[in-house]
Amino acid sequence: MTTWMRGITATLVLLIAAAAPAAAFDAEQTFRKGTFVLSGEGAYGWQFNFEEKHQGVTYLEFYDVGVRFSLLPFEPLGRDHFWYGALEMGFEPLYQKYTVPRSAFWAGLAAVTRYHFLGLGRFVPYAEIGGSAGGTDLDIPEIDSTFAFLVFGGVGASVFVSNKTALYAGYRWQHVSNGNTSLPNRGFEAHVVVGGVSFYFP
């Protein structure tokens, strides 16, 4: 898994170096109120034993694909403060495919909120949270149901390669459970690395 983290870090460093000599980036224009954001992303994740006490942990591995449709509902916030940034809110059809130890899936519609920190020019860190409900065919000791909630929180960074296009990479902490709608419902946690591209349409 550390190979994935090294790859994400190296990609961000190269993108920052490539973007540095580019023309000045105007965050106020890119992130102005009413801008529509279209993002396509992929991710790789692996389950971990969060409480370090459970026996029979499945240690799932999986990948995600999703397309996010978002809006910037406000003008940039907190100008001249360390938290100067912009709020992004949207929905993302998300498909999660489990590959280890056996094939299974989760699919649903996620509501995602990101806060972009705009004080570093073309390098734009973000924090995000997301939550969704969807269908699944997971049949493991941690969860066995046809319905499950998927929630996540994470951090990452975008690098703008133009005023309207950004590449991003980040980390998510993910939890999946069925909310006690059926048993068993121990649920599971996972580390997820994510990468994608966003297009901004004012």
DSSP secondary structure letters along 74-88: S--B-TTSTT-EEEE
Q: What is the pLDDT of residue 3?
A: 62
Whole-angstrom Cα distance, residue 77 to residue 90?
18
Range 84-91 contact pairs with CB under 8 angstroms and sequence separation of 24 or more: 84/117, 84/118, 84/119, 85/115, 85/116, 85/117, 85/118, 85/119, 86/27, 86/31, 86/115, 86/116, 86/118, 87/113, 87/114, 87/115, 87/116, 88/37, 88/113, 88/114, 88/115, 88/116, 89/113, 90/37
Please report, as a single letter, which amino acid is at residue 176. V
Q: What is the pLDDT of residue 20?
A: 47
Token pair, residue 135, equals 């269908």
pTM for the full model? 0.85
Ordered by start, the domain boundaries in the chain are 2-201
- Per CATH, the number for 2-201 is 2.40.160.20
Q: What is the pLDDT of residue 22?
A: 45
Which residue numbers in the chain have pLDDT < 70? Answer: 1-23, 51-55, 181, 183
Whole-angstrom Cα distance, residue 44 to residue 52?
22
| Alpha helix segments (H runs only) across the chain | 2-19, 27-30
Closest by CA position to 140, among listed 60, 54, 62:
60
Q: What is the pLDDT of residue 19?
A: 46
Q: What is the pLDDT of residue 2?
A: 58
Per-residue model confidence as pLDDT tens digits over 169-181: 999 999 999 877 6
